[in-house]
Amino acid sequence: MAHGIRLHVWGERACFTRPEMKAERVSYDVITPSAARGILEAIHWKPAIRWQIERVTVLNPVRFESIRRNEVSVKASADLAARAMAGGARTELVVEDWRAQRVSMILRDVAYVIEARFEMTARAGAEDNPAKHLEMFTRRARKGQCFHQPSFGCREFPAHFRLLEEGEAPSPAAELMGEKDLGFMLHDVDHAHGRTPRFFRAVMRDGVIDTRFPLGGESR
């Protein structure tokens, strides 16, 4: 595994929101490659590199919990605002009056192993070489250093992390053994092409999901 890293991540709660269920959030069963990339980028990222998630190993049984919170659902009309600025009517948006009580179906007690590698991008300069970035990432992950605390989908659900050293391999819970089709999942958002979301058919075999893209079951 050239430039490969393995990171053990875990936390009490997680919410990897399904894009089709955003108002009342429902999490996917497992972490998306996009969220896994976000965790790695919180530890080390430069424009010179692009993280590719190769495999995710699910360590804990999938458990859900629901939580309802008061959220703000504010959208004011632009022309009202424009009129208000021209000295006309005021737009009144009081938090209590624009309260949405939204429920979220979130995951409990999650733990994963993220296996990833990175490639150099067109923005890599002369001073950027893979060994340097690999070294920076592993040093930070080993020491618990990060750019900002990584999280599982939402910032209120922190992701704790540690670098897995050679020979360390946490194993998935017994009930994750066998093959499970998780359906189409968001793979990542392609920022290079107008933020197109890409999906993939996620299949978990003995706790392991191959997230290399494109896979056979790519959908566009």
Contacts with another protein by CB under 8 A lie at 12-13, 63, 65-72, 74-78, 81-82, 84-85, 90-96, 101, 103, 108, 140, 143-149, 151, 155-158, 160-162
For residue 53, give the nearest of 43, 74, 39, 69 by alpha carbon. Answer: 39
First to last CA, the chain: 29
C-beta of 89 vs 177, nearer to another protein: 89
Shortest spacing between CB 209 and another protein, in angstroms? 25
Shortest spacing between CB 35 and another protein, in angstroms? 15
Dihedral angle, C-alpha 173, 174, 179, 181, nearest 10 °: -50
Please name the helix (run of DSSP H) or strand (run of DSSP E) that holds residue 34, with its range, or none: helix 33-43
C-beta of 1 vs 95, nearer to another protein: 95
Rounded CA gap, 166 and 6, in Å? 9
Please name the helix (run of DSSP H) or strand (run of DSSP E) that holds residue 84, with its range, or none: helix 78-85
CB 112 within 8 A of CB 211: no
Shortest spacing between CB 75 and another protein, in angstroms? 6
Shortest spacing between CB 136 and another protein, in angstroms? 10
CB 64 within 8 A of CB 27: yes
C-beta of 105 vs 182, nearer to another protein: 105
Shortest spacing between CB 118 and another protein, in angstroms? 19
C-beta of 148 vs 220, nearer to another protein: 148
C-beta of 69 vs 212, nearer to another protein: 69
